[in-house]
Structure 1
Amino acid sequence: MSSTPLPLVINALGTLDNPNLQFAPGAADRAKLAYGNSAAGVDARSLADALASGLTAVNITLGHVAGSDDPFETTVRDIASWDALIRSHGEQLRKVHVGADIAAARAARQIGVIYGFQNTEMLGTQLERVRLFADLGVRVIQLTYNGRNQVGDGATVADDRGLSAFGREVVEALQQQGVLVDLSHSSERSCLAALDLARRPLAITHSGCRAVADHPRNKSDAELRRLAEGGGVIGIYWMPYLRLQGQPLAADLIAHLEHAIDVCGEDHVGIGTDGCVSAIDDRDAYRRHLEAEVETRRRLGIGAPGETAEVSLFLPDLCGPGQFARLAELLAARGHGEARIAKLLGGNFARLFNETLTKTP
């Protein structure tokens, strides 16, 4: 695979920021949570690295995830910031409204930016905000983070009640507005309830397989199977939850990918790294920053079991601009053919976005 250009690469959940800016000497707030993308975290290096990696499109995390700031105001401000960033980098970036925009970005050698949320707290209890955010260009909305919100229960809620009545309305409204419903971070009951309601395919943009690593952030075979039956796609992440102890490596990622293929079929599996493209320059500074982030997540009550600063939020042997090409090489060495690798790296999510990012009459 290394001698030929990469196929379409779609990161179903990732970032375009330069992570080194967060913990460089003189950084203002080492403890600040770096959920995906503040537009201020994007610089010339991170854009150059993303383009060099072969990335075609990425679903970024916008707006409120957790914390005390007003969820609605925070989110609207972040959307405006990203709109301004894309306008100022029109040669490199393209905002994705429909699936065809991803193909257009690839043809123009740009990166398609897919606006996404990792929570629904910015909706409050106002269903009409679904249409508002859809009109502002948000194309992926995750129902819950780890805890409970007004829509339903997340992955770490002990007494899993599934979706609320309002949550069921939200799922229907999102699909009507051509917004892809994301079931990452959801509890099992919330996930299965949304899949039962769905009239279009859904996504799990960034998770793993519970049968490989029994962690609440990973998905059961029942969830995976039901997702695939409805035409959906799971993106396997490059996160600590790929294994229960120690630092995950590329081999752990491949184990989850292969299990998901066994359960879902090769047409329903992709990648959602939950991370960046640029490599970490100073691992010691990164570790200090991660310690502060783990503590902040614990204090806010949004951390997942087993989170520790001893385990990096990336795969040490699969990072930097060469990460996608290296994954393709490793999959080929495992006997996966070029057609399957092309589906895993982006083809399956391209199909999903083409099918779902349109409003219904």
Structure 2
Amino acid sequence: MTCAAAASLLPLETLGASPKGVGTSDSGIIINALGGLGDPNQGADSLVPGMTPRVLAEAHASGLTAVNVTLGYVSGPDDPFEASVRDIAATDALVRGHAGDVLKVLTAADIRRAHDEKKIGLIYGFQNGAMMGKDATRVDVFANLGVRVFQLTYNPANQLGDGSMAPENRGLTPFGRDVVERLNACRVMVDLSHSGEHTCLEAARVSRAPISINHTGCRAVTDLPRNKTDAELRLVAERGGFVGIYFMPFVNASGHARAEDVVAHIDHAVNVCGEDHVGIGTDGTVTQIDDLKAYQAQLAKEIAERQAAGISAAGERPDTYPFVVDLRGPQQFHKLAQLLAQKGYSGGRIEKILGLNFLKYAETVWGS
């Protein structure tokens, strides 16, 4: 059965319906709306290069319940469709080989099951729609393979719309609107991280389901293209969507981000969106980095490669880390909770930000 056929069994209006309330059994759920289980000490490019004992042990120690991991094509010479199918197959094999520690998330109920079984749920997601080629029905293929988050663009423009670094700042293309419609029918999250402002605003308006911005910052706090304007944040929230704040250099204009910067961006997003629509999407792993100096040398090479490929964003430099120096490693979520509590956030609000808001959003889009 195609996604469109399956969706026809449910009125599309239900995709935007109010989700069921969360119960006390959901206490302690931590969901990273964009991250990974990789080991940055190994210099691997993929966010899921291999689930080593250390990676799994530190992920469990962090309290992580589920994480949206980036699979498939982002950039490079490979065929986007073929690369994406191969990556999904390889990750499926990893999940099968580590069934005692991880599970593949297809519904919101799977996130709760991961919590109950003390496993880590892997949410398969894309960060570039290039694998669509010119065929929107490929959404059905990937949805049936288990992809649950579909980011329309990376930093440059693609055939769906403009990314955050595309100077024209155009909206969705006609093909992009077709893909959004197909994603709605397949009950896949439409993620506007990395998009240009007009692409994000238009997607929020044309989508029949709430959309997300799974990893971003607030441009009103730090004026960089990778951060979202208040207009984008507000519209996404007004339409029932989700905004995840990242632990990235873009939360500080200097590029040298601190935990207090992440708190400032979360606080601004809560003020703009309301406390029911904000969470975290760190854009990083939980495995501790052993040698920051050695890592910085590796990072400088990666940044140079990204700049040469035309996929880097303003604010990326060889001297900036793709994480927050004092908010990393297995204690990052617990430390963030402490900092939010010190700012006066209630325990209930902190639980929403750490995971329950994403869980409710997932119920809305994927179903329970």
Q: TM-score range by the shorter chain?
A: over 0.9
Q: Deviations over 1:227-282 (max 9, x none)?
A: 00011110000001001114100000000000000000000000000000011101
1:107 alignment partner, one of 90, 99, 116: 116
TM-score w.r.t. the length of structure 1 is 0.93
CA deviation after TM superposition for structure 1 residue 41, in Å: 3.4
Q: Deviations over 1:187-226 (max 9, x none)?
A: 0000000000111111100000000000000000000000
Q: Deviations over 1:78-132 (max 9, x none)?
A: 1001100001111110100111100011000000100000001011111110000
Other-structure match for 1:20: 41
| Matching residue's letter, 1:148 | A
Other-structure match for 2:47: 36
CA distance in 1, matches of 2:325, 2:167: 32
Other-structure match for 1:9: 30
Other-structure match for 2:238: 229
CA distance in 1, matches of 2:118, 2:206: 38
Other-structure match for 1:25: none
Paired residues for 1:152-301 under 5 Å: 152-301=161-310
**Identical counterparts, % of pairs:** 52
1:330 alignment partner, one of 332, 339, 346: 339
| Matching residue's letter, 1:20 | N
CA distance in 2, matches of 1:71, 1:322: 36
1:306 alignment partner, one of 305, 308, 315: 315
Other-structure match for 2:359: 350
| Gapped regions of structure 1 (runs ≥ 5) | 23-31
Are the equivalent residues in 2 in contact too, given 1:62–1:117 (CA < 8 A)? yes
CA distance in 2, matches of 1:77, 1:220: 36
| Matching residue's letter, 1:351 | K
CA distance in 2, matches of 1:209, 1:319: 20
Are the equivalent residues in 2 in contact too, given 1:290–1:309 (CA < 8 A)? yes
Q: Tell me the secondary structure at the aligned position of residue 356 of structure 2.
A: helix
CA distance in 2, matches of 1:191, 1:131: 22
Paired residues for 1:109-124 under 5 Å: 109-124=118-133
CA deviation after TM superposition for structure 1 residue 36, in Å: 2.6
Q: Tell me the secondary structure at the aligned position of residue 139 of structure 1.
A: strand
CA deviation after TM superposition for structure 1 residue 307, in Å: 1.2
| Matching residue's letter, 1:306 | G
CA distance in 2, matches of 1:220, 1:119: 21
CA distance in 2, matches of 1:266, 1:35: 32
The answer on 1:146 being equivalent to 2:155 is yes
CA distance in 2, matches of 1:175, 1:235: 20
Are the equivalent residues in 2 in contact too, given 1:21–1:41 (CA < 8 A)? no
Q: Tell me the secondary structure at the aligned position of residue 316 of structure 2.
A: coil
| Matching residue's letter, 1:236 | I
The answer on 1:81 being equivalent to 2:81 is no
| Gapped regions of structure 2 (runs ≥ 5) | 1-25
Matched residues, number: 343
Q: Tell me the secondary structure at the aligned position of residue 34 of structure 2.
A: coil
Q: Deviations over 1:35-75 (max 9, x none)?
A: 533xx333111111101100000000001000111111111
CA deviation after TM superposition for structure 1 residue 133, in Å: 0.2
CA distance in 2, matches of 1:167, 1:41: 33
| Matching residue's letter, 1:7 | G
CA distance in 2, matches of 1:285, 1:354: 42
CA distance in 2, matches of 1:220, 1:36: 27
Are the equivalent residues in 1 in contact too, given 2:255–2:316 (CA < 8 A)? no
Distance 1:94 1:211, change over 3 A: same
1:54 alignment partner, one of 63, 66, 82: 63
CA distance in 2, matches of 1:316, 1:306: 16
Are the equivalent residues in 2 in contact too, given 1:62–1:115 (CA < 8 A)? yes
Are the equivalent residues in 2 in contact too, given 1:35–1:65 (CA < 8 A)? no
CA distance in 2, matches of 1:329, 1:267: 19
CA distance in 1, matches of 2:199, 2:245: 19
Are the equivalent residues in 2 in contact too, given 1:86–1:93 (CA < 8 A)? yes
Q: Please, which moves more after superposition, 125-134 or 308-317? A: 308-317
Are the equivalent residues in 1 in contact too, given 2:224–2:315 (CA < 8 A)? no
CA distance in 1, matches of 2:226, 2:244: 13
| Matching residue's letter, 1:168 | R
Q: Please, which moves more after superposition, 305-314 or 142-151? A: 305-314
CA distance in 2, matches of 1:176, 1:287: 43
| Matching residue's letter, 2:38 | D
Are the equivalent residues in 2 in contact too, given 1:6–1:54 (CA < 8 A)? no
* RMSD after superposition: 1.3
